[in-house]
Chain A
Amino acid sequence: MGLSQTFSKILTNLFHKKTSRIGIYGPPNAGKTTLANRIAKEWSTGIEGTVSEVPHETRRALRAENITITGSNGRAITIDIVDTPGVTTKIDYNEFIEYGIARDEAIDRAREATEGVAEAMHWLREDIDGVIYMMDATADPFAQVNIMMVGIIESRHLPVVIAANKTDLPDASPQRIKTAFPQHPVVPISSLTGTKVEDLYEEMIRAFR
């Protein structure tokens, strides 16, 4: 982001001219849509995304608008939430066949997933004001996609909150994520059970105001 863009963003933030678009990014199956659905359910009007164990279930960016989140001290933010497809550098339709999906449908899914990832990257470059980066706390935080995506987000100087998701699972280790990315706030949550999501809301209010 250049100097003029930086100042423009500061001015925009000062006068609150628009609702911030907050992207939920992360690798496939990190729990992005589960969180987006929870936020929409708790603070807005309805559920929008489909959740499944099959990777790349979300293949188009989905947006929920004008969500107002209020913190414990009464401070609030109004944001648009953009649930994005899981970011990856590789997609093989055979991966879907392993989940029992027929070949033709698997090929269609793979094509839609590639388009969705490209779209998500485009959103990040053009239309996102802040990021909730979802990581699976049972997985290796040093996965290449995490390293690249956090680097890309940092290079755009976007505020970011890392959600260390799936703390309901026995081998979850949010501490590994905190150690891997000490420069950013890391909030351990379970978007499935709702455990500690209120901590995430508080951190979002701090980061995205």
Chain B
Amino acid sequence: MQGVQIDLISAERLSRMASMEKIRLILDKVRDGTIVILESGLSPEEQSSLIEMTMQEILPDGFSGIEIETYPSKQKSGMLSRLVRGESEFRRLTVIGPANQLRMIRRDRDFISAWISSR
């Protein structure tokens, strides 16, 4: 049977992983053609590192990068949460796949529609 592998990773499992572990896991899976769904998404710092590492792994006629879909961030308000790192945003469900297999059809503040193709 032909198809696309989809891995759903729970928030609980993600919370036990270091940032670099998450990014390595995501890139290894996506480079193999797997669609990864993160229940709790990545922090902005992790997203920044993911972009940087993705760029370093792009090769001509090989891996061309990732498509990543998530909702816009929601910021917590309040002085304390703004001052304490990591407390100013909610992490939201995120879908990541190979750029040549995952396409966004429509995205809104609270709705994402995407198309996944096999390689």
Count A-B pairs with CB separation below 8 Å: 104
How many A residues are at the interface, by size bracket? 35 or more
Interface size in chain B (residues, C-beta < 8 A):
38
Check A110/B58 contact, CB under 8 A, given A88-B65, A142-B109.
yes
Structural contact, B54 and A89, CB atoms closer than 8 A = yes
Closest beta carbon of chain B to A204's beta carbon, Å? 22
Structural contact, A152 and B44, CB atoms closer than 8 A = yes
Query: Which chain A residue lies CB-closest to B108?
Result: A142
Structural contact, B67 and A90, CB atoms closer than 8 A = yes
Structural contact, B55 and A115, CB atoms closer than 8 A = yes
Name B63-119 residues within 8 Å CB distance of A.
Answer: 64-73, 75, 82-86, 88-89, 99-100, 104, 107-109
- Contact code string A1-22 (vs B, CB < 8 Å = 1, else 0): 1110010000000000000000
Asked if A54 lies at the interface with its beta carbon under 8 angstroms from chain B, I say no
Structural contact, A151 and B58, CB atoms closer than 8 A = no
- Contact code string A85-126 (vs B, CB < 8 Å = 1, else 0): 001111111000000000000010011001101100110110
- Contact code string B44-60 (vs A, CB < 8 Å = 1, else 0): 11011111101110101
